[in-house]
Amino acid sequence: MPHDVREYIKAVEALGELKQIEGADWFLEISTIAQLAGAMPNPPVLLFDKIKGYPAGYRVLLPTTSSPVRASFQLGISPQLNTKQAAIRVLREKLNQPFNPIPPLQVQGGPVLENIQTGSDVDLFKFPAPQWFAADGGRYIGVHDTVIMRDPDEGWVNVSVNRIQIQDKTTATIFIEPGKQGDKIRRKYWEKGEACPVAVTCGGDLLVFIAAGMPMPWGLSEYDWVGWWRGEPLEVINGPFTGLPIPAYSEIALEGELFPPEAETRVEGPFPEWTGHYAPASREPVFKVKSLMHRNNPIWVGQPFLGAGGSMGITRSLLYSADVWNNLEKTIPGVQGVWNYDRCFFVSIAQQYPEHAHQTALAVINHRSRIMSFIVEKFIVIVDDDVDPFNPQDVLFAIMMRCDTDHLEVVKGARTRFLDPLLSLEQKEAGNFTHPAVLISACKPYQQIKDFPPRVRTDPELIRKARHKWGETL
């Protein structure tokens, strides 16, 4: 698996899946090109250079996980395992192994220290961070980023993913959802009358970014999880301003202080979130950047929203699918496949008794693990073993043809996220982050399985032969 962005780029280029683009505008054009590429059957990775208004060598890379092959590669799975099913099989084996955290290794230097600016020399506009959409509140230097904090009482290091908007050359705002670990840590400093020391990376070890987006138990550093997953410690340097551990091979790193809201706030947002809707503007505490470090010819990494089933969720989907599948097999027989598609879980089973589908759906919604603190998906769809759960069109066919009102159940009080656009302002103010989840049995009625009409399907071998013979013509 790659240890930094540059190893990743070399591997993707070797696979023939890298497209280099020169001369694009950071304002709306880069994101528009990304959307066009994202609509392709196998979207390439895009590496932008000579961006309008910026010198050659100040590059933008996106998206990094727009295919199951590349998402798997970031997790250490061979690109030869080029199907979701094959990748999930390997991940299931890994997740079943004992968890033995490996702390990071402090080193004296690293590429991130090749260039250092401090004080008035700091300029957050130095990098060609795009503006994604016209209604955005501004430019965001932190999208595919990690935010690093240390608990002031317990001493452990938390790493999270949070959007970071540039306010001026030395000032940004970091949006952190209420109740998240980063929110709890920063409030500990504020309650002591202190600013919260923060380090940020914008491009670096892709596995750290993946870990930072997962809900780890309180007190477990994402760095320790990365060490366990990779089987070797993550190399970090001590930030010169904060002393926080920063991955040595990061492309860009910022250090500074996050001040309490009573000291100063700025307007943050709107921002196009993973929900496919804008998160509204709000006033957020300021992050004063004291030092800026970057590698020679830095590569800023972005992760734009590309629509339902787009690039943002493939790595997450692989991990979550493997985790839920492992859990289901402990209590549910006949599980044939599990796929996490945006806010849905699709599960195929070989039915063995009347309540089989219903029990499977309940087992999914009640799932807990070290990968997922809770299920936030709004739809759990159970299908028969003649339906491909990895193919949304096949699942939709099953819903249309095998589901009626008796096969639907609404479970109230399921957990969701602060950014859920359906949450009312009153719910957010009350800390009530819940929503109804819909359980859908799109299976043949168990009592009719033997007599249910068979599906109209072409033999896969005939399809293979036709593709081989007529593929170029088509």
Share of the chain above pLDDT 70, in %: 95
Predicted confidence at residue 273, as pLDDT, reads: 85
Which amino acid, one-letter code, is at 181?
Q
> What's the rounded Cα separation, in Å, for the pair 36 and 39?
5
Two structure tokens written together for 376: 């936030």
Alpha carbon separation from 338 to 66, 96, 344, 362, 392 (Å, rounded) = 20, 16, 11, 14, 12
**Cis peptide bond N-terminal to 270, omega within 30:** yes
Structure tokens given for 143: 């999208």
Distance from chain centroid for Cα 39: 19
* 295-319 mean pLDDT: 77
pLDDT given for residue 312 in this prediction? 47
Give the chain's mean pLDDT: 91
pLDDT of amino acid 341: 87
Query: What is the distance between the terminal CA atoms of the chain, rounded to a whole angstrom?
Result: 36
**Of the candidates 68, 77, 30, which has an alpha carbon nearest to the alpha carbon of residue 310?**
68
- Selection from 62-71, 175-184, 210-219 with the highest mean pLDDT: 175-184
pLDDT higher than 50, residue 25:
yes
Q: What is the mean pLDDT of residues 115-135?
A: 95
Which domains does the chain show, CATH number per domain?
5-301 (2.30.110.10), 329-450 (3.40.1670.10)
396-452 per-position pLDDT tens digit? 999 999 998 888 999 887 777 787 788 888 888 888 887 888 999 999 999 999 999
Give the mean pLDDT of 303-328: 76
What contacts 212, CB < 8 A, 6 or more positions away? 146, 147, 159, 160, 161, 222
Is pLDDT at 311 greater than 60 in this prediction?
no
3-state secondary structure of 98: coil
pLDDT digits (tens, 9 = 90+) for 37-83: 887 877 899 999 999 999 999 999 987 776 777 888 888 887 777 68
